[in-house]
Amino acid sequence: MKRRCVALVLLVASTGVGRAYALCGDATGEGYITASDGLAALTAAVAGGYEAKLDVATAGTTDGRVTATDALVILGAAVAPLVPDCAAADERAAIVSLASCDFATGGLAAVDVDDFTVLEHVIGSVEADSVVRVRDNRVFVVNRYSGSSVQEIDPNDALKTLWRCNVGAGSNPHDIALIAPDKAYVTRYDATSIAIVDPSVGKSCEGFVRGYIDLSPWADADGIPEMDQMVRVGDRVFVAVQRLDRDDFFRPATNGALVVLDITTDAAVGAIELELANPFTETKGLVYDAALERILVGGPGTLFSDLEDGGIEAVDPKSLTSLGVLLSGADLGGDLGDFAMVGSRRGYAIVAAANFEASVVEFDLDAGIGAAPLITSPLLLSDIEVTNDGHLWVADRDCIDPGLRVFDVGDNTEITAEPIYPGLTPFTLDFIR
């Protein structure tokens, strides 16, 4: 086990929008630990190279080097199978947005990632329909729907609110992309433009909204593009637009798209048309696969009535083209609600079946899904995230026994004896370091 965090201290900067992954011991970055990873570690040890994900823990510590001992530990992990701890496993606590089962009350909690104890929980500090985002050492809460605001939380001081600023009444913000300490983009689901905001202005909120970027050219016939998740790649930010028909119960009017923003000019410079309809998953921003230099976009397609039309699609951010759907809803077994990558190939997904039953399944982008779900719930599984030491966190909104459940991706066994109850039913989560 790594050193326990006794205070909520942010030690390492987040990689920004779209969580990176560096599974401990996985030299190839595919999401699996194999004998070839042990050989790669041994090669690195001989050459004197260093990668934090190959600096695995022995006797509870890492030593800042990759050695033959690390290679042996990785070989043993490949056989076990298990995921060792490593220097790259820098997550210290999960920050969780909470919502009562009737979505009448919201809150926040912090949970220690080592011993799963609830470090803090605060009820009523955020809207019930809110999502948490960790961006570059900073914790933001996006208050969606009628909340129409963004707030910053101090994880070092009892999850107190540092500031809360509006982005337009009724605008329904969904995501935040931090560009600089004094600049961020906020998608507004019920508006036609992204808000450019200054998250450094503090409690006064004076000058918080600096301007807007018009996305109306990429709307469907009802005039609203339904902008949602984002990811930054270099000097561009990619924004998923769902293009739903508000006059037809929010069914997809057409396929989705990624609108491309230039952060140097704060302008939309084009769009990538997707094969998928309804690109919407609770992924903390679109997923960027740095190893293969591609963006992964997920979505359910037409909810409930067509279980085969969603899936996961890859996009090339350089050529601005779709690389096609890698796994369809038919491959996954239903409507995709969320997915979390362990590596370039391997990940986990929340999938809803025809009877609305939700399951977490393992998938391989080349080979399809695993044999059996890790968990199945008749109610809502709202979010999943993976830590670098191979722990899959699931927000289980079973109102009879709600909580956070944690699984080991080495063998997919649950390692929480019972759901971690963070003071209210969990909704979304992200990690501080």
Instruction: Residue 16: name the closest of 408, 286, 353 by CA.
Output: 286
Which residue bears the tokens 């779709």? 322
**Is this model's pTM higher than 0.85 or not?**
yes
Neighbours of 235 (CB within 10 A): 11
Determine, yes or no, domain membership for 71.
yes
pLDDT at 305: 84
Which residue bears the tokens 């019930």? 128
For residue range 352-384, what is the model confidence (pLDDT) as tens digits? 998 889 999 999 999 888 778 999 988 789 999
Instruction: Residue 243: name the closest of 260, 264, 222 by CA.
Output: 222
Q: Are residues 73 and 142 in the same domain?
A: no
Measured between alpha carbons, how far is 382 from 147 in angstroms, rounded to an integer?
20
Q: Are residues 157 and 230 in the same domain?
A: yes
Measured between alpha carbons, how far is 41 from 130 in angstroms, rounded to an integer?
42
> Given 57, 87, 117, which residue is the final one in a domain?
87
Determine, yes or no, domain membership for 172.
yes
For residue range 186-207, what is the model confidence (pLDDT) as tens digits? 999 999 999 999 999 999 999 9
Q: Is pLDDT at 51 greater than 90 in this prediction? A: yes
Q: Are residues 82 and 123 in the same domain?
A: no
pLDDT band at 59 (very low <50, low <70, confident <90, very high): low
Total structural domains in the chain?
A: 2
pLDDT at 6: 27
pLDDT band at 10 (very low <50, low <70, confident <90, very high): very low
For residue range 284-310, what is the model confidence (pLDDT) as tens digits? 789 999 999 999 999 999 988 888 899
Neighbours of 272 (CB within 10 A): 20
Q: Are residues 104 and 82 in the same domain?
A: no
What is the distance in angstroms between the CA of the first residue and the CA of the last residue of the chain?
A: 16
> Given 61, 87, 113, which residue is the final one in a domain?
87
Q: Are residues 121 and 78 in the same domain?
A: no
Measured between alpha carbons, how far is 431 from 433 in angstroms, rounded to an integer?
7
Contact 343, 29 (CB under 8 A): yes
Q: Are residues 422 and 342 in the same domain?
A: yes
Determine, yes or no, domain membership for 2.
no
Residue 46 structural domain: 23-87
Here the CATH number for the domain that contains residue 357 is 2.130.10.10
Q: Are residues 279 and 318 in the same domain?
A: yes
Determine, yes or no, domain membership for 14.
no
Q: Are residues 234 and 254 in the same domain?
A: yes
Determine, yes or no, domain membership for 10.
no
Q: What are phi and psi of 53, to 5 degrees?
A: -75, -10
Beta strand pairing call for 160-166 and 130-135: unpaired
Q: Are residues 224 and 296 in the same domain?
A: yes
Q: Are residues 99 and 197 in the same domain?
A: yes
Determine, yes or no, domain membership for 7.
no
* H or E element that contains 381: strand 381-386
**HSE (CB half, 13 Å, CA atoms) of 262?**
6
- From residue 237, alpha-carbon distances to 5, 63, 178, 213, 292 in Å are 33, 37, 10, 12, 18
Determine, yes or no, domain membership for 1.
no
Q: Are residues 55 and 197 in the same domain?
A: no
Q: Are residues 264 and 122 in the same domain?
A: yes
> Given 46, 71, 87, which residue is the final one in a domain?
87
